[in-house]
């Protein structure tokens, strides 16, 4: 069981900055994120896009913002559970919470801060009518173990990096790899596109474009897919069909935690501390809603700051505390580091 | 005249006549959001960077539209429910040339 003071769900910019504000109050944080790396959308969707409305940064790349935040919170030694989705929450008799991920990792904390953005990133599933009948019976949206495909016939659909990279990788593992894409052009990195071209020329990958998969065929498990290219429709035998159309955020299991939801977001008390209808659970950043809400990183930072003050009072109801300026109090890390303003040197004048 | 009229058919099939300003650098996705014609969280998910297809629209009138950028074209290549008339709303900026534009929102992804 992982124990911490504030359990943060979502390691995007708001979740990361929470670690800093909590750290100033000597509160330890642990973060859970469904993605394999911290940074949320900034890292996953648009790391190379410049952001222009972070105060005091006239321009900063989303990826650099994440790097800077990670550096800023380093002294507070946050823990991470990455690549796992927060699945269930159980309130204990003493008012604390146990949050369990989809992989069974348990976390115990007196305060939970949901900073989940638009939700956890899940694979986009193509709207093929019968596809759900074959999930885990030959249809996989994520490749977890490439060995599953050894000496099998595999059909991959998609036109981005993930479809290209896995086609390249599986070409050396599977009996056959067929890549189906709606266009002749691919959105992935140039060297991946060139590599697929090479493998196609060498007969290692069959490329079917411009085409799309309209049906999955098979009794009980996948035995083939139906492919439409122009007016022509034909079947292609395969053991596995892997649609790789990237990820999209979904609110997911959090929606079933008994929290008040409005407009696909969690309602919070914005007049005080961004607490939800369940005391001890807060929601900050893009995941929350209140009158006048703006989904901006800078608003998430503000919400995180106020939330931490309230969390402190919840954890230590009998302690008095006033907010301290970092220019005055400096930053004392849990790693023993201390940053503070240099003392002015006064020298007398003769 | 800074506003134009556009006709937006939502995902339930209801058509809305709305006024859209031409002087605010707004795009069609933002107009749809501002009138709350699609459920929050199901449109403009990427914020308008042509990096998702949640604002996909079908163009129902014969307006001459700005050409598709490479990003928009390749995003639509990976979108679902795509038709020949598909465009990403976030890439269509409101100008006076779009007066009377008629669009239908594509279904939300499941």
Burial class of residue B92 in the structure, from the number of CB atoms within 10 Å of its CB (0-12 exposed, 13-18 middle, 19+ buried): buried
Does B110 map to a domain? no
Q: Measure the CA angle with vertex A14, ends A12 and A18; round to 5°.
A: 115
Give how far B3 is from chain A: nearest CA, Å. Answer: 25
Give chain B's domain count: 1
Nearest Cα residue in chain A from B74: A187
- Structural domain of B48: 3-105
Nearest Cα residue in chain B from A126: B80
CATH number of the domain encompassing residue B7: 3.10.20.30
Pairs of residues, one from chain A and one from chain B, whose beta carbons lie less than 8 Å apart: 58
| Residue B33 tokens, joined | 């959001």
What pLDDT does A260 receive? 97
Q: Does the pTM of the predicted model rise above 0.95?
A: no
**CA B96 from centre of chain:** 15
Q: Give just the sign of the alpha carbon dihedral A199, A201, A202, A207.
A: positive
The residues that bridge with A156 in the sheet, in sequence order, are: A179, A242
Domain spanning A2-122+248-339, CATH architecture: 3-Layer(bba) Sandwich (3.50)
Interface residues from chain A to B (CB-CB < 8 Å): 41, 45-46, 49, 118-119, 124-127, 158-160, 181-183, 185, 187, 245-246, 248-249, 251, 263-265, 289
**Which of A127, A160, A265 lies closest to B80 in CB terms?**
A127
Does B65 map to a domain? yes
**Which of A181, A185, A265 lies closest to B40 in CB terms?**
A265
| Residue A148 tokens, joined | 């599953």
Asked if B18 has any chain A CB less than 8 Å from its own CB, the reply is: no
Q: Contact B55/B88 with Cβ under 8 angstroms? A: yes
Q: Could you confirm whether domain A131-245 is CATH 3.50.50.60? A: yes
Q: Over its length of 350 residues, how does chain A's per-residue pLDDT go in tens digits? A: 999 999 999 999 999 999 999 999 999 999 999 999 999 999 988 899 999 999 999 999 999 999 999 999 999 999 999 999 999 999 999 999 999 999 999 999 999 999 999 888 888 999 999 999 999 899 999 898 999 999 999 999 999 889 999 999 999 999 999 999 999 988 888 899 999 999 999 999 999 999 999 999 999 999 999 999 999 999 999 999 999 998 888 888 999 999 999 988 999 999 899 999 999 999 999 999 999 999 999 999 999 999 999 999 999 999 988 888 999 889 999 999 999 888 777 788 88
Residue from A44, A61, A126, A297 whose CB has the most chain B CBs within 10 Å, to mutate: A126
Give how far B5 is from chain A: nearest CA, Å. Answer: 26
């Amino acid at each position: 069981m992982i124990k911490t003071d504030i359990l943060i769900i979502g390691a995007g910019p708001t979740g990361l900055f929470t670690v800093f504000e909590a750290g100033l109050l000597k509160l330890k944080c642990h973060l859970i994120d469904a993605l394999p790396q911290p940074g949320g959308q900034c890292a996953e969707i648009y790391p190379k896009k410049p952001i222009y409305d972070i105060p005091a940064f006239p321009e900063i790349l989303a990826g650099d913002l994440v790097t800077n935040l990670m550096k800023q919170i380093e002294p507070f030694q946050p823990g991470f559970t990455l690549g796992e989705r927060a699945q269930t929450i159980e309130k204990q008799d003493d008012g604390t919470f146990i949050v369990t991920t989809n992989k069974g990792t348990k976390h115990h904390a007196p305060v939970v801060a949901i900073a989940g953005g638009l939700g956890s990133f899940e694979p986009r599933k193509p709207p093929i009518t019968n596809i759900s009948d074959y999930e885990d019976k030959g249809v996989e949206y994520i490749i977890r173990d490439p060995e599953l495909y050894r000496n099998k016939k595999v059909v991959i659909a998609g036109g981005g990096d993930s479809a290209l990279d896995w086609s390249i990788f599986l070409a050396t593992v599977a009996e056959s790899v067929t890549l189906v894409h709606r266009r002749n052009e691919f959105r992935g990195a140039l060297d991946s596109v060139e590599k697929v071209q090479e493998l196609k020329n060498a007969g290692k990958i069959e490329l079917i474009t411009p085409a799309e998969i309209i049906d999955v065929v098979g009794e009980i498990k996948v035995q083939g897919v139906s492919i439409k290219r122009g007016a022509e429709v034909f079947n292609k035998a395969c053991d596995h069909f892997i649609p790789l159309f990237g990820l999209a955020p979904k609110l997911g299991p959090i929606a079933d935690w008994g929290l008040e939801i409005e407009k696909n977001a969690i309602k919070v008390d914005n007049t005080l501390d961004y607490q939800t209808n369940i005391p001890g659970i807060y929601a900050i950043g893009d995941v929350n809603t209140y009158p006048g809400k703006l989904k901006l990183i800078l608003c998430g930072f503000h919400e995180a700051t106020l939330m931490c003050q309230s969390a402190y009072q919840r954890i230590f109801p009998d302690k008095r505390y006033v907010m301290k300026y970092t220019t005055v109090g400096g930053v004392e890390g849990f790693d023993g580091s201390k940053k503070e303003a240099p003392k002015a040197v006064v020298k007398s004048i003769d | 005249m800074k506003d134009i009229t556009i006709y937006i058919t939502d995902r339930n099939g209801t058509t809305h006549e709305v006024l859209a300003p031409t002087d605010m650098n707004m795009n069609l996705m933002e107009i749809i959001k501002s009138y709350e014609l699609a459920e929050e969280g199901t449109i403009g998910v990427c914020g308008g960077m042509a990096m998702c297809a949640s604002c996909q629209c079908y163009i129902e009138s014969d307006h001459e539209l700005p050409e598709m950028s490479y990003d928009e074209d390749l995003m639509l290549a990976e979108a679902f429910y795509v038709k020949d008339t598909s465009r990403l709303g976030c890439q269509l900026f409101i100008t006076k040339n779009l007066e009377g534009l008629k669009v239908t929102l594509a279904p939300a992804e499941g």
